[in-house]
């Protein structure tokens, strides 16, 4: 009975996180099957591991800093798959705050796949916002909320010349539908 209590206490001390993998499974390149990723994550000590769609979204529990988790995942993925993958990790609380800061609630309700949240290993800057706004079409909007860049692609991201990330640094984007799904997974 004492070991069961210790396990419950250890699990209680763990926090939930989301990891976003950048640039995998795009156009048949850098293939990384989610079942294998899930197994790698469990092997390096992450608990309650779940994935969402093949673009590289991983939800898990752990007792470590986001920086340490990014490094562990990047190292394990490179060892397992033979190529480097940038990983961005945020806690459940951070993810909820990012989602709550969405500056495009109306657009998100009407066209959730046209709204993108972009986050990076470094916070977004006003200069990055200005650079993206300079390239935006008339029906596109770019806003910064905290560390994230938010973009509404009025005609859809596939038709845009804008892109979803600043030119410098490591960034990855998720559409509003994915942001909300991951928030639900983290809250479960």
CATH number of the domain that residue 47 is part of: 3.30.70.1280
pLDDT value of residue 7: 46
The long-range contacts involving 4-13, CB below 8 angstroms and separated by at least 24 positions, are: 10/63, 11/47, 11/61, 13/63
Same domain, 64 and 120: no
pLDDT one-digit tens code per residue, 49-84: 999 998 789 999 999 999 999 999 999 999 999 999
Boundaries of domain holding 7? 2-91
| CA distances from residue 108 to 126, 143, 158, 161, 176 in whole angstroms, order as listed | 23, 14, 17, 20, 6
pLDDT value of residue 25: 67
Region of 25 on the Ramachandran plot (φ > 0 left; ψ -120 to 50 alpha; else beta): left
Least confident of 85-89, 164-168, 179-183: 164-168
Same domain, 108 and 72: no
pLDDT one-digit tens code per residue, 2-31: 544 444 444 456 899 999 999 886 666 778
pTM of the model: 0.89
Give the residues across from 57 on adjacent strands: 20, 52
**Which residue do the tokens 């959730």 mark?**
112
Phi, psi of 155 (to 5 degrees): -110, 10
Same domain, 83 and 106: no
Q: How many domains does the chain have?
A: 2
Q: Is 57 helix (H, G, I), strand (E, B) or coil?
A: strand
Same domain, 147 and 175: yes
Same domain, 86 and 106: no
pLDDT value of residue 79: 96
Give the mean pLDDT of 98-113.
97
């Amino acid at each position: 009975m004492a070991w069961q209590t210790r396990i419950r206490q250890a699990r209680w001390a763990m926090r939930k996180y989301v990891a976003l993998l950048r640039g995998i499974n795009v156009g048949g390149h850098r293939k990384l099957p989610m079942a294998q990723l899930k197994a790698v994550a469990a092997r390096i000590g992450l608990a309650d591991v779940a994935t969402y769609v093949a673009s590289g979204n991983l939800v898990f529990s752990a007792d470590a800093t986001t920086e340490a988790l990014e490094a562990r995942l990047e190292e394990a993925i490179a060892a397992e798959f033979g190529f480097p993958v940038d990983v961005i990790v945020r806690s459940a609380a951070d993810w909820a705050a990012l989602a709550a800061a969405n500056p495009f609630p109306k657009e998100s309700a009407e066209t959730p796949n046209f709204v993108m949240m972009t986050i990076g290993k470094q916070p977004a800057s006003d200069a990055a916002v200005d650079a993206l706004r300079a390239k935006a079409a008339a029906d596109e909007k770019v806003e910064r909320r905290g560390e994230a860049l938010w973009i509404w692609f009025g005609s859809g991201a596939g038709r845009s010349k804008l892109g979803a990330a600043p030119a410098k640094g490591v960034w990855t984007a998720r559409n509003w539908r994915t942001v909300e799904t991951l928030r639900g997974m983290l809250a479960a």
